[in-house]
Structure 1
Amino acid sequence: SLGFPLSEVSELKKTSRGVKGITLEGEDTVRYAAVVMPDCEELVFEQKKYDPQKIRNRKRAAKGQKAKIKK
């Protein structure tokens, strides 16, 4: 998991190609992405609950970490 402020994502312009959101290595893959509002209390992915407050905010394009399931 990797969180970063939406303000770090620039607007898509005519000649731009987007921005890098996360750094992947080897066999890493992105399985899910979402814009999460600050008042969100819970995320559900593949019948598992995650606490968005426990996703550490870092700089855009950083390495992710294994997401922790909400208990």
Structure 2
Amino acid sequence: MAGPSKSLVLDPALQKYYELNANRYKYWKWTPRHAWLSFVYMGLIPGVLTYIAYKTEGKYEFRGKRRGDTIQEW
């Protein structure tokens, strides 16, 4: 039978985890650690990757090369 079972016992630890995960925004607050991690992941890492991308713009050519040719253009 496909109906709800009366003998189903839910794990209280999992239920607590599900409730905490659904209401995470109620328990979260800014701390120095959260501020630093947010800066690193939203500012520092994209900034470094953007800098590297602009510094190597047009330097490497991967198409149209033959065996033995270098991939550096300049």
So what's the TM-score if we normalise by structure 1? 0.17
Which structure is larger by alpha-carbon Rg, 1 or 2? 2
So what's the TM-score if we normalise by structure 2? 0.17
Query: Relative CO higher for 1 or 2, CA cutoff 8 Å, sep ≥ 6?
Result: 1
